[in-house]
Amino acid sequence: MTRVTAERRLTALRELMATKGLDAFVTTYGPNVRYLSGFSGSNVILWVEAGRAWLVTDLRYATQVEEEVPGDVIEIAVARDGIWEACRDRVGSLSSVRRAAFEGHRLAHRDAQRLVEWWPIEWAAEGWVEAMRERKDDAEVEAIRTAAAVAGSSLAETLPLVRAGLREADVVAELEYRIRRAAPEGAAFETVVLSGERSALPHGRSGTRALRPGDLLLIDFGARWEGYCCDITRTYVVGEPEARHVEVHAAVCGALEAAARTLRPGVEARAVDAAAREAFSARDLGAAFLHSTGHGLGLEVHERPRLHREETRGLAAGMVVTLEPGVYFPRWGGVRVEDDYRITESGAECLTPTSRALEALGGTAVISP
Ligand code: ZN
Ligand code: ZN
């Protein structure tokens, strides 16, 4: 991470600490540590006070931490034994710290206990780095854009291979292989490939079912680039689509576009969800839309904000969100389409270049995998 980025993010955190009356903030949570310091390893404690910041990790990361963290902004310590013991020694008596915060929703109970036992100061169990992460800077958006381009081209290379007879797991392997070659950090999350009636499982896991002619094929996938995730879903048909496939797919794309038209700074998150829901209801598909319309994404594939039907918080320029409307019919199948958008000053920009078209994949010839 550059010195400038680290300074900007630590300054924002320190301003937040000042408004809450905190002298220190400690995090061990990987995505938050990476956001604030650039360090991408595990087993780390990042400690921030008004006048200094330091992190401690272990010997396995001695070289990596020097490469990733701007040492003139954040002091680097490498522990020979435990990082918590090193933290205790470094902090000492904490004479200047009266009120400190750890991330109660992230820190292991045993580690929170250590902090409270070692230092009889007031611990405010807050968590706001996630809120800071909502609005992305240009470099973060570019990383997501690159992840989306890489994932899209990997999918484009995979689709010609899809045939009846391949199993869901084969399609996962073919796609993830290509993602990993193009993006060294690999898939952003476990790729989901669901076929036939299994595509009606909104949270299904890929299995060994072999694709058959006439199957819907739902693919939910993403790549990670410089830590940042994209999250894309496409639905296709193995062989020729039926009229109902075309009709439902068009309805899902219509719901996505209706939601996308609402995206702009200031709009309540629930209004985005409502736009997708109304588009489905207008086609009598409202009852088949079983989840929220979307979510933020960045260093994690699910971040704030959530585009949920009760979420009244407003969107802001710089946020990156997915829109993922879908409808699911047991024993028939499901159709979901998902794209990623950056909220701009005046609206939104789609970051995922992959066509949404309902392609007919692989003809009807059955081959062995
Ligand atoms: Zn997804
Ligand atoms: Zn998603």
CA of 144 to the centre of ligand 2 (A): 14
Nearest to 71 by CA among 24, 37, 42: 37
Residues 325-349 have pLDDT tens digits of 999 999 999 999 999 999 999 999 9
Residue at which a domain ends, from 73, 98, 133: 133
Closest CA to 325 of 265, 283, 268: 283
pLDDT recorded at residue 369: 35
| Pair (197, 94) in one structural domain | no
Q: Is the pLDDT of residue 43 over 80?
A: yes
Looking at the structure, tell me whether residues 295 and 182 fall in a common domain.
yes
Question: 232 with 107, same domain?
Answer: no
Residue 166 phi, psi (nearest 5): -65, 150
If asked whether residues 85 and 206 sit together in one domain, one would say no
Looking at the fold, whether 181 and 235 belong to one and the same domain comes out as: yes
> Could you tell me the distance, in angstroms and rounded to a whole number, from the CA of residue 320 to the centre of ligand 2?
12
| Euclidean distance between CA atoms 48 and 205, whole angstroms | 40
Cα 189 to ligand 1 centroid, rounded to whole Å: 9
Query: Where does the pLDDT of residue 366 fall: very low under 50, low under 70, confident under 90, or very high at 90 and above?
Result: very low
Q: Both 194 and 321 in a single domain?
A: yes
What is the average per-residue pLDDT within 49-63? 95
Note the pLDDT of residue 368.
40
pLDDT given for residue 367 in this prediction = 41
Helix (H) or strand (E) holding 45: strand 45-49
> Is there a domain that residue 252 lies in?
yes
Select from 133, 162, 178 the last residue of a domain: 133
Q: How far apart are CA 265 and CA 173, in angstroms?
A: 39
Q: Which ligand is nearest to the CA of 235?
A: 1
Write down the mean pLDDT value for the chain: 94
> 5-17, pLDDT tens digit by residue?
999 999 999 999 9
Q: How far is the CA of 153 from the centre of ligand 2 (A)?
A: 19
Check residue 172 and give its pLDDT.
98
What is the CA(338)–ligand 2 centre distance, in A? 7
- Per the CB < 8 A criterion, the answer to whether 144 and 297 are in contact is yes
Residues 75 and 170 in one domain: no
In this structure, the answer to whether residues 164 and 83 fall within a common structural domain is: no
> What predicted TM-score, i.e. pTM, was given to this entire model?
0.93
Q: What percent of the chain has pLDDT over 70?
A: 98
The answer to the question of residue 368 being in a domain is no
Give a yes or no: residue 265 inside a domain.
yes
The CATH number given to whatever domain includes residue 230 is: 3.90.230.10
User: What is the torsion angle, in degrees rounded to the nearest 10, for the CA atoms of residue 351, residue 356, residue 360 and residue 361?
Assistant: 20
User: Which ligand is nearest the CA of 188, by number?
Assistant: 1
- Note the residue count of the chain: 369
109 inside domain: yes
Q: Range of 147's domain?
A: 138-361
- Using the mean position of ligand 2's atoms as its centre, give its distance from the Cα of residue 323 in Å: 7
pLDDT of the residue at 125: 78
Ligand nearest to the backbone CA of 295: 2
CATH code of residue 54? 3.40.350.10
Q: How far is CA 352 from the centre of its chain?
A: 14
Pairing of β 333-336 and β 326-329: antiparallel
Domain boundary residue among 133, 160, 181? 133
pLDDT tens-place string over residues 179-223: 999 999 999 999 999 999 999 998 899 999 999 999 999 999 999
Clarify whether residues 327 and 247 are in a common domain: yes
143: amino acid identity, one letter: A
Residue 92: pLDDT band with limits 50, 70, 90:
confident
Alpha carbon of 200 to ligand 1 centroid (Å): 14
Task: Count up the domains in the chain and report the number.
Answer: 2
Instruction: Please name which ligand lies nearest the alpha carbon of 302.
Output: 2
Q: What are phi and psi of 350, to 5 degrees?
A: -80, 130
How many Å apart are CA 211 and CA 171, to the nearest integer?
A: 10
For ligand 1, the distance from its centroid to the CA atom of residue 326, given in whole angstroms, is 11
How far away, in angstroms, is 335 Cα from ligand 2 center?
A: 14
Looking at the structure, tell me whether residues 354 and 219 fall in a common domain.
yes
In a domain, 369, yes or no: no
Same domain, 127 and 270: no
Do 219 and 277 belong to one domain?
Answer: yes
pLDDT at 365 > cutoff 70: no
d(CA 32, CA 128): 10
Query: What's the 295 CA to ligand 2 centre distance in angstroms?
Result: 6
**364 pLDDT higher than 60:** no
Q: Is residue 282 part of a domain?
A: yes
Query: 233: CA distance to ligand 1 center in Å?
Result: 5
pLDDT at 363: 61
Backbone angles phi, psi at 80, to 5 degrees: -80, -35
**Cα(211) to centroid of ligand 2, in Å?**
24
